[in-house]
């Protein structure tokens, strides 16, 4: 079986802003002994990487003093020969957290070199898109047509609404060409805009009305599944993936929180929202993936199996791991993937890890449009 991991990162510490970690951590982690201590502390006090300590430790542990090629070789070694990987660059240059030593253009070029040095078809690069960059439309189209990038990657928690008007030409382009778009869709965590919201961040791109709330409320609004409804209405044929299926915290909330089934759920979890969108039939090209969420908690795999019993859901879920920002890559990447395959069974795993990714990427005819 040819597996496709639809959600993998290979960025390194050179692609993160210099204030990504709180002072004086950036200065201290340059010392290998300090990095070892931080890793050990995370393994003891945050085994599930559920807090900032664990997430920061994982990023440092895997990315420090490594190239994207070296990071990719780590994840590649945990999967069967022939597995393909969708590589998603991380653009943190505009999140108001300081200088990024290696910018997003260079990060893209490194991914091109990585792809060209790998077996044909093994690396499937997506282009990171942020509307605050100058000439973002022209640059991104060049990445697609000149450099062979296969899709677009959005990360709204870094400070922009996914329906930002500057992205509209790219959505037109992607829809007309059947180009897949993958976007972060779980609550903002460690990678998010720092500082006070700018005036442009407070303008609703749909009605030009001001957005209320503080920074975290604003970033949550940008990332909420509801933020994509105007986009999907304007571009019904756009192939869009809401990554993380709402996020691990919202999956736990779904399992733990009781409600009266005869009434509307107040403040529904993001899992509930995405399920409603998938089941409605209103958004025939909407997708989601299980990256991070299925790797953050073992019990989530049982909920996934139950959800996949609905063909409206199973036909729209993609396998992905979110390597390397969850768990300890050396201990968990293979274990969690094998567990997912065993619990789901070969049929369902084949659907989400082989058949659905090929449809999402436009490699198979899509019978659901």
Domains, in order of start, for the chain = 4-360 (3.20.20.140)
pLDDT of res. 53? 62
pLDDT of res. 315? 98
Q: Are 303 and 254 in contact (CB under 8 A)?
A: yes
Share of residues in the chain with pLDDT > 90 (%): 70
pLDDT of res. 328? 43
pLDDT of res. 263? 60
- pLDDT of 334 > 90? The answer is no
pLDDT of res. 288? 98
pLDDT of res. 129? 98
The pLDDT of 139-145, averaged and rounded, is 98
State pLDDT tens for residues 230-289. 999 999 999 999 999 999 999 999 998 876 655 666 778 999 999 999 999 999 999 999
Whole-number Å distance between alpha carbons of 256 and 136: 42
pLDDT of res. 125? 98
Whole-number Å distance between alpha carbons of 293 and 303: 11
Q: Higher-confidence residue: 84 or 22?
A: 84
pLDDT of res. 233? 96
- pLDDT of 173 > 50? The answer is yes
Lowest mean pLDDT segment, chosen from 82-96, 258-272, 321-335: 321-335
The pLDDT of 137-165, averaged and rounded, is 98
State pLDDT tens for residues 194-203. 999 999 999 9
Q: Higher-confidence residue: 328 or 114?
A: 114
State pLDDT tens for residues 176-185. 999 999 999 9
Lowest mean pLDDT segment, chosen from 319-323, 329-333, 357-361: 329-333
pLDDT of res. 330? 44
- pLDDT of 57 > 70? The answer is no
Share of residues in the chain with pLDDT > 70 (%): 84
pLDDT of res. 180? 98
pLDDT of res. 336? 81
The neighbour count for residue 148, using CB atoms within 10 Å, is 12
pLDDT of res. 344? 95
pLDDT of res. 8? 96
Hunting for tokens 């085994």 — which residue is that?
47
Q: Where are the alpha helices (DSSP H) in the chain?
A: 25-28, 32-45, 52-63, 68-76, 104-117, 136-145, 168-177, 215-223, 229-234, 248-256, 270-280, 293-296, 300-307, 311-314, 329-350, 356-360
Query: Which residues are CB-neighbours of 259 under 8 A, at least 6 positions away?
Result: 265, 266
Q: Higher-confidence residue: 26 or 351?
A: 351
The dihedral formed by the CA atoms of 20, 26, 32 and 33, expressed in degrees to the nearest 10: -110
């Amino acid at each position: 079986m040819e597996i496709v991991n639809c959600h993998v990162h290979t960025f390194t510490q050179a692609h993160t802003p210099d204030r990504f970690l709180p002072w004086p951590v950036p200065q201290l982690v340059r010392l290998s002994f300090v990095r070892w201590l931080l890793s050990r502390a995370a393994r003891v006090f945050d085994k599930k990487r559920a807090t900032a300590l664990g997430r920061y430790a994982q990023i440092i542990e895997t990315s420090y003093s490594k190239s994207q090629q070296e990071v990719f070789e780590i994840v590649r070694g945990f999967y069967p020969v022939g597995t393909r990987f969708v590589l998603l660059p991380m653009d943190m240059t505009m999140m108001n957290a300081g200088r990024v030593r290696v910018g997003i253009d260079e990060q893209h070029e490194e991914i091109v070199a990585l792809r060209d040095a790998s077996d044909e078809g093994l690396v499937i690069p997506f282009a990171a898109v942020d509307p605050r960059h100058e000439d973002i439309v022209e640059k991104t189209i060049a990445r697609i047509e000149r450099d062979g990038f296969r899709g677009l990657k959005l990360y709204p928690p870094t400070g922009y609404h996914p329906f930002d008007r500057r992205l509209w030409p790219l959505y037109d382009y992607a829809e007309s060409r059947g180009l897949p778009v993958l976007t972060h869709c779980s609550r903002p965590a460690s990678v998010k805009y720092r500082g006070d919201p700018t005036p442009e961040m407070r303008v609703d791109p749909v009605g030009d009305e001001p957005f209320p709330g503080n920074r975290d409320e604003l970033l949550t609004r940008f990332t909420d599944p509801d933020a994509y409804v105007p986009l999907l209405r304007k571009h019904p044929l756009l192939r869009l993936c809401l990554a993380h299926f709402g996020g691990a915290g919202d999956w736990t909330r779904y399992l733990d929180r009781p409600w009266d089934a005869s009434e509307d759920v107040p403040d529904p979890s993001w899992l509930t929202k995405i399920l409603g969108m998938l089941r409605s039939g209103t958004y025939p090209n909407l997708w989601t993936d299980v990256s991070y969420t299925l790797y953050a908690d073992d019990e989530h795999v049982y909920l996934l199996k139950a959800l996949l019993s609905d063909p409206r859901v199973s036909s729209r879920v993609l396998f992905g791991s979110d390597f390397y920002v969850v768990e300890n890559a050396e201990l968990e990447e293979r274990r969690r993937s094998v567990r997912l395959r065993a619990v789901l069974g070969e049929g369902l795993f084949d659907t989400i890890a082989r058949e659905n990714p090929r449809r999402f990427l436009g490699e198979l005819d899509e019978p659901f449009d």
